[in-house]
Structure 1
Amino acid sequence: MDVIATTVDRTRLPVWAAAGLALVCGAILAFSGWTEWASRSSEMRNAEIDLGNLARSLTQHVEDTFELADSLMRGVVTALETDDGKPGAIARLQTILKSRKASLGRIRGVFAYDENGDWLATTEDVTLTNYNNSDRDYFAHHRISADRSLLIGRPVQSKSGGQWVITLSRRWNHADGRFGGVVLATVDVAYFAQFYRQFDVGQHGSISLLSRDGVVLADNSEPDPKKLGGPIVEAIPYHPASGALSFRRFGEKSERIGFYQHAQRYPFLILVTRTEADVLTAWKRDAIVRISVLMCLVALVIAIGIFLVKQLLQRQQLAAALAAKEENFRLLAEGSSDIVTRIELDECIGYVSPSTMRVLGWHPSQLLGKRALSGVNPQDRPQLQEMLDQIKKGMVDEARATYRMRRRDKSEIWVEATIRATRQPDGTLDGFVAVTRDVTQQKTLQGRLETLAIEDGLTGLANRRRFDERLLEEWGRAYREKTSLALLMIDIDHFKAFNDTYGHPAGDECLHTVAGILADEALRSSDLVARYGGEEFAILLPNTDATGCARLGERIRRALHGARIVHDHNPPGFVTASIGAAVCRPGFERSAGPASLIEAADRALYAAKDGGRDRMVMAGEVIDLPSSKAPATVPA
């Protein structure tokens, strides 16, 4: 019964795991959705708070502006009513207003009109008799109404300046109580518009100064005659004095949130709005990122869960297969031509495959317990030790190296080893496995290829490629160390005739003999003898002056005479050579370069040929590549 119950539990385990996975993923998604909604609500609340703070600040600013204008108007009303009918009263008032013009600040202008709308006095520099304001709405209002409180009128276009202004007006009376006229103060609509544009309310946000009946006095857009004086919303409650709004304007896709603030002392209010799209732009962007990351994590959790469920199903099969795999590994290791080695954490050998007998000559039993690096060439041992240390530190899991190992018969072979870390189920490092193969033959072939790349196949000398590399190296060294660098260019005289007469095999033998003579005469290890091309040779002589260069060139010429290689078509009857030599000091001739040294030696070589062959010509010291074709040479 216990076995049956255990079997049933194991069959249900994947179902329980899948149900738990679904529950966890659902909880994560639900919590994330609630969090995002709460974040959105918080964003909207913060926007309302910011709009409210801004509306209250702007309301205070407008109240201060209107209070300044009202104070000026009260003073003018008092002056008019006190001096009504007195001689020179209007002239005195005009003088006072003119003197106050420079201190008006944000107030555009102050005006006084009589009962007919004619201009009595103003801060503006205009001719008073040219204007009459009896047609203005505020004038008509004060003429028929005895109310002497401040009137904030609709925006109008100034008659004196032409700009759009907000009007603030008060009535003044004659001494007998009759209507005497109007005192007016104006504030530029553009002043408020420019001031409001300093505040960031989003791309589609608005800041509006309104009368209590919803008439637009100014906003943060450019002054528009079609919009000024018109309603912005149908109804904004007077009570309470402030509050939040939510509405949608005609033609807009997004709802607006707004905050209005009524002034306490004057009949106006400030309305600040933002579209929900502007408010939620940053939240939407961040929410998309967060949701995307969350969905990736949920997908990862689901993938891991599926993987774990599969692992549960395969656990028994894997456990049964583990022993078989270990046995198969041993069979593969013992049947492999490569050496498979198990290295313990103390770097001693715990297992080695039988192929070590064929590769190294040692029986596996003779290597067990020995240090894994004991047979490695001492020069290569630090490299392998560093590899093992890096694997131990977890810097890498696998490393590969090529090094030399000592065989039982004391000979050395090149091997290539791949070392990989092995770990316990909990991830703890428990040793290394090294797969080693003999690559001696490949190393030999590689060395031969490298030699062929820099060696002339016929003469055994350095080839043109190697010569060019060494010339750059020696030029740089001579430049740094302020030493001289010499070059001999050697060309076998009438070599084409030699080939035509004796055949190409004899020509090859001649080149080989001449190459041997050149190599024998260039005694220093730093000297480089190269086949430059065809029957032309070059000898690069580091740290050699003109005297030493000439001496070597003359020795080579005499050695060729002594060799007596028969050449009937060469006047002496044997093989000779023309030699051109050049010496330079790169550290003192900075405008010159490696090509100039070859150029100078080549010119000297042609001078030697033109002078009758079988001779050496020494070029002057290299200073720069001359523009003339004729070489500057000194006969040898």
Structure 2
Amino acid sequence: MTTHTPTTPTKSKRLSLQGMLTAFVVTVTFLLISILTWNSWNARTTTLNETKTATANMARALAQHGEDTIGGIDNVLVGLVETLEQNPWDSEHLDRMNMFMRQRVADLPLLHGLFVYDDKGRWIVNSQEVLRTEFNNSDREYFIFHRDHADRGPHVGPPVRSRSTGDWIITVSRRLEHPDGSFSGVVLATISMQYFRSYYESFDIGKSGAIFLATQNGTLLVRRPFDEKLIGSDVSKGSIFQHYSKHGPSGTAILVSKIDQVERISSYRRLDHYPVLISVALSTEEVLTGWREETIRYVSASVVLIVLLWIMGLRLIHQITIRERAQAELRIARDDLERMNGELAALALLDGLTGLANRRRFDAALDEEYVRAMRNRTPLALVMLDVDHFKKYNDRYGHPQGDECLRLVSRVLKKLQSRTGDLVARYGGEEFAILLPGTDIDGATVVAERTRAAIQELNIEHAENPGSIVTISAGVTSIVPVRSLAGNSAQDLVRTADQALYQAKESGRNRVCTLVSTVSDT
């Protein structure tokens, strides 16, 4: 007698259907993420390109405005030069010149004044009602330039304060000559800086945008946002002029300003006929604000869609694999156990008081980053810092308050940690360490100084410390590790940073000291 066993779907068929459903959900998820990423990146690129075009057009318009402004005034100077060189400087003629100058200043609101000086810098005639002969302008840059150069073209000088009104002005001048070609004086037009400031304020460049006008040699004439301390400063070493020296009279690039460290999309243009450079820049952060908001909306919608897709897919898979629930629950329990073990392992690497990485985590990270820096030949920096006179703090306020002080300091260190690759650890007691991969000595010093200032700004009372508030001292070092016959190791970095910290303490505390560690090649 033959017995027939009822047929049931085989395990391989169930796994095949489960595999197809899983592959479908994963594929759709991957496609959604890929499309979202591509669209987001493409939108970002488009936004930046459109902004580059807009800033380039704005720079062109501002350059044309500057050309027209200086050109119109220069035309007046050309006429004055011709008249003065062809006519005697007698009282009758100078009276007519005074009336003419006053009329030109009245007709051109941007024109602050017109002046004529002789070869000694004495005031001969100007656009004012009363000629003030007590002044002498032989010490002015434009006078010295024309006296020492035979160039008959216009000269745009650095901004100065008017001796007659005290206002900030921009000077445009030309040389006067005797019939034999020798120097006979200077004819000068002054432009009110307020004219350019008002004009530049009319442009919508956001809160962090910038516009500046400078001479070709890098002397700043006027800048928005306006800062009187910057007037006349040398910006030739700035990012705009560096780009200008390499790429020619006009260009657009994403640059970081050396004045305020803001990254901007900058366009510049040199005036065609005058040695002046105009630049307009929009903050990259502000330009991309709309793109970020739109990307967040798309990401949120996509996340909801992906979650729904996975819920539906998992439900179908669950129906197919219901008979394997026990095994699935066992796998879940195993995963939970692994997760908890992972969390326990992570907690073992944290300092219980501050929540920062502990000494064990720091030592492991230091060795790992040291090897990576040696392999990639990149810098590795370390900041060691501790709380000044912390023992005295504990003695005066008690250990519970001392612990709270360390927690407050730790919160500042966490808040200032800006890169995922950096590590902030409690090294021991009141001492902390900041490990900075890919950072040179200057960058690490900036981090240390920012940290010192931020902790000082907490204004935590410390009567036993100079200044009566809690402060820190910090030692900074950075190296590019290489293999060395001397047997250098990651601990050399710690020793050097500790030496720099010791110098900071010995130098009076509440300061940052740097010490460079060197390693020799084999």
**TM norm. shorter chain > 0.5:** yes
Post-superposition offset of 1:4: 7.0
Structure 2 match to 1:291: 299
Whether the 8 Å contact between 2:105 and 2:111 is mirrored in structure 1 is: no
Which residue identity lines up with residue 136 of structure 1 in the other structure?
Answer: R
- Show the counterpart of 1:237: 244
Matched, 1:304 2:312: yes
2-side partners of 1:202 and 1:98: how far apart? 39
Q: Which amino acid aligns with 1:280?
A: L
TM-score in terms of structure 2 length: 0.57
Q: Given the superposition, is the C-alpha separation of residues 29 and 194 from structure 1 closer, same or farther in structure 2, using an over 3 Å criterion?
A: same
Contact kept in structure 2, 1:84 and 1:175, CA below 8 Å: no
Taking only the aligned residue pairs, the percentage that are identical comes to 33
Structure 2 partner of 1:268? 276
The letter of the residue matching 1:167 is: T
> Is the alpha carbon distance of 1:16 and 1:251 closer, same or farther for their aligned partners in structure 2, counting shifts above 3 Å?
farther
Query: Is contact 1:208–1:271 with CA below 8 Å preserved after alignment?
Result: yes
CA contact (8 A) 1:73 1:183 kept: yes
**AA in 2 matched with 1:73:** L
Counterpart CA distance in 2 for 1:198 and 1:179 is 42
Larger Rg: 1
Aligned-partner SS, 2:226? coil
Distance 1:11 1:176, change over 3 A: closer
Q: Which amino acid is the alignment partner of residue 166 of structure 2?
A: G
| Larger helix proportion of the pair | 2
Cα pair distance change 1:104/1:2, threshold 3 Å: farther
Change (3 A) 1:107 1:189: same
Mark the CA change 1:299 to 1:274 in structure 2 (over 3 Å): closer, same or farther.
same
**Cα pair 1:65 1:107 within 8 Å, conserved:** no
Do the aligned residues in 1 keep the contact of 2:117 with 2:125 (CA within 8 Å)?
yes
Identify which of 153, 157, 171 aligns with 1:167.
Answer: 171
Kept after mapping to 2: 8 A contact 1:126/1:160 = no
Sort the Cα spacing of 1:22 and 1:251 in 2 relative to 1 into closer, same or farther, 3 A: farther
- Structure 2 SS opposite 1:171: strand
Match of 1:129, SS state, is coil
Q: CA deviation at 1:91?
A: 2.1
Distance 1:253 1:226 in 2: 15
Does residue 32 of the first structure (1) align with residue 21 of the second (2)? no
SS in 2 for 1:105: coil
Task: Give the deviation of 1:89 after TM superposition.
Answer: 2.2
Please list, as runs of the form range in 1=range in 2, the aligned pairs for 1:185-334 lying within 5 A after superposition. Answer: 185-231=189-235, 233=238, 235-237=242-244, 240-250=248-258, 254-312=262-320
Post-superposition Cα deviations, 1:427-484, rounded to whole Å, max 9, x if no partner, equal xxxxxxxxxxxxxxxxxxxxxxxxxxxxxxxxxxxxxxxxxxxxxxxxxxxxxxxxxx
Alignment gaps of 5+ in structure 1: 316-636
1:126 Cα deviation after fit: 3.9
1:44 equivalent in alignment to 2:51: no
Aligned partners of 2:167 and 2:192 also within 8 Å:
yes
Give deviations 1:477-507, integer Å, cap 9, x for gaps.
xxxxxxxxxxxxxxxxxxxxxxxxxxxxxxx
Tell me if structure 2 keeps the 8 A contact 1:243–1:259: yes
Secondary structure at 1:175 match in 2: coil
Q: 2:115 aligns with which of 111, 117, 133?
A: 111
Match for residue 144 of structure 2 among 137, 140, 148? 140
Q: TM-score, normalised by structure 1?
A: 0.47
Q: Which residue of 1 aligns with 2:429?
A: none
Distance 1:71 1:36, change over 3 A: same
Cα separation, 2, equivalents of 1:250 and 1:207? 14
Report the 3-state secondary structure (helix = DSSP H, G, I; strand = E; otherwise coil) of the residue aligned with 2:274. coil
Greater RCO between the two (CA within 8 Å, min separation 6)? 2
Supply the distance in 2 between the matched residues of 1:250 and 1:186 (Cα, whole angstroms). Answer: 29
SS at match of 2:228: coil
Structure 1 pair 75/276, CA: closer, same or farther in 2 (3 Å)? same
Does the 8 A contact of 1:172 with 1:183 survive in 2?
A: yes
**Map of 2:160 onto structure 1:** 156
How many angstroms apart in 1 are the aligned matches of 2:210 and 2:307?
A: 43
Q: Aligned partner of 1:224: which letter? A: E
Task: Write the distance in 1 (CA, Å) between the matches of 2:243 and 2:92.
Answer: 48
236 and 88 in structure 1: CA distance in 2 versus 1, 3 angstrom threshold: farther
Deviation at 1:204, TM superposition (A): 1.1
Instruction: Evaluate the alpha carbon distance shift between residue 175 and residue 21 of structure 1 in structure 2; reply closer, same or farther with a 3 A threshold.
Output: same
Quick check: 2:77–2:187 contact (8 Å CA) kept in 1? yes
How far residue 313 of structure 1 moved from its aligned partner, in angstroms, is 5.5
Match of 2:180 among 156, 168, 176: 176
Matched letter for residue 147 of structure 1: D
Q: Say whether the 8 Å CA contact 2:176–2:184 is kept in structure 1.
A: yes
Q: Return 84-93 or 280-289, whichever deviates more.
A: 84-93
Question: CA–CA distance in 2 between the matches of 1:200 and 1:150?
Answer: 32
Q: What's the offset of the Cα at 1:92?
A: 2.0
Q: What is the CA deviation profile of residues 49-68 of structure 1, one whole-angstrom value per residue up to 9, with x for unaligned ones?
A: 11101000000001000011
Question: Closer, same or farther in 2 for the Cα pair 1:174/1:2, shift >3 Å?
Answer: farther
How far residue 255 of structure 1 moved from its aligned partner, in angstroms, is 2.7
Displacement of 1:250 after TM fit?
4.0
The equivalent of 2:102 in structure 1 is 98
- Aligned to 1:88, the other structure's residue is in SS state helix
Does 2:18 align with 1:14?
Answer: yes
Is the 2:263–2:284 contact (alpha carbons within 8 Å) kept by the matching residues of 1? yes
Deviations along 1:249-271, whole A, 9 cap, x unmatched? 34856532211111111111111
Structure-2 separation of matches of 1:269 and 1:290: 41
Map of 1:604 onto structure 2: none
The verdict on how the C-alpha distance between 1:80 and 1:258 changes in structure 2, with shifts beyond 3 A counting, is: same
Contact 2:220-2:230 within 8 A present in 1 as well: no
AA at the equivalent of 1:130? E
Figure out how many residues of one structure are paired with residues of the other and give that number: 315
Does residue 128 (structure 1) correspond to residue 147 (structure 2)? The answer is: no
Rate the CA distance shift 1:299–1:125 in 2: closer, same or farther, 3 A. Answer: farther
Q: Which position in structure 2 is the counterpart of 1:517?
A: none
Q: 1:125 to 1:298 in 2, by over 3 A?
A: farther
Query: What is the distance in 2 between the residues matched to 1:294 and 1:124?
Result: 70
- Partner amino acid, structure 1, of 2:153: S
Unaligned runs of 5+ in 2: 324-522
Give the partner amino acid of 1:219: R
